[in-house]
Structure 1
Amino acid sequence: MKLSRREMGMVALCVLVVASIGVPSLKQVKSIDSRTPEALAADAERVRARCAALEQEIAGLEKDVRSLSWSEEPSRLPTRILTELDLVAEKAGVTLATLRPGRPMAVASGSKLPFTVQVRAPFPKAVRFLRRLQQTQDRVALERLQVVSTDASTDVVSLELRLAVYSSVPPESK
């Protein structure tokens, strides 16, 4: 294969660029054989300490997950959630129009049960309901909120909430 002068110049330039970048990089890499046993032992101890710290962090996070999820089977949750949401709605002065539970889905820590809730109320009471829901229901997550004004002459709005509750029990497989 015959190369022109221009091509040979480009190849030489590429070789110089690779050499100027690669050689210093290779000098920075130290082989494991060149490390002393004390340095290796210190590194191993740092790794052990970091592993212990991570295990403690995981234990704390698992405790948080347990406090934010239900320990009941997903099939038993809709009636319990309905009771709690009805109580929140009553204290806020609104009524629940509909509550539709979805199908339980498997997640890493158990299962997720989605709900769709519709509330129709004057706007101030609807906001009060949302605040009470947020303040009193730690184990109910608001995924989506849709506010629709149903009548321009009044302050009555319709809320559609997409809620999710989590259970530490995996869903039943069919």
Structure 2
Amino acid sequence: MRIGLYPGTFDPITLGHVDIISRACALVDRLVIGVAINRDKGPLFTLEERVAMIEAEIGALAARTGTEIVVHPFENLLIDCAHDVGAQVIVRGLRAVADFEYEFQMVGMNRALDSRIETVFLMAEARHQAIASKLVKEIARLGGDVTKFVPGAVKQALEAKLR
């Protein structure tokens, strides 16, 4: 069984994330969405809220693609999380060239830690390439409409959280 790990903070999950998850399902039999517990980033949503939002989005996607998709919170090294879930591949989404430099460094470090685990980069669909959780939160914070950037339930959660 080919197992992939798609890590991130998902604060909150965006349509760009959903796009990458959907496309990653074509590459693996089981996709683990690794939700990073990153206290340094000071997430808007709690870990439990982020996990619940992701789980709400992946049910229909798993049924449509036939891929098993699970959510797995983690606070250790990404490579250790990959070991924990039995992943042979790490899936990363790229939006722009600016993402590549950081991701390139991460791949090098992860390969040094375990050369058996491959990293695969997927480009978001063109209409989702500008979406970043940080920008979505800022738009929502300032009263803007985030309908084009996040699933409907996430939009409602953002509005409720920022009220």
Structure-1-length-normalised TM-score:
0.26
Q: Which has the larger strand fraction?
A: 1
- Highest relative contact order (Cα 8 Å, sep 6+), 1 or 2? 2
Structure-2-length-normalised TM-score:
0.27
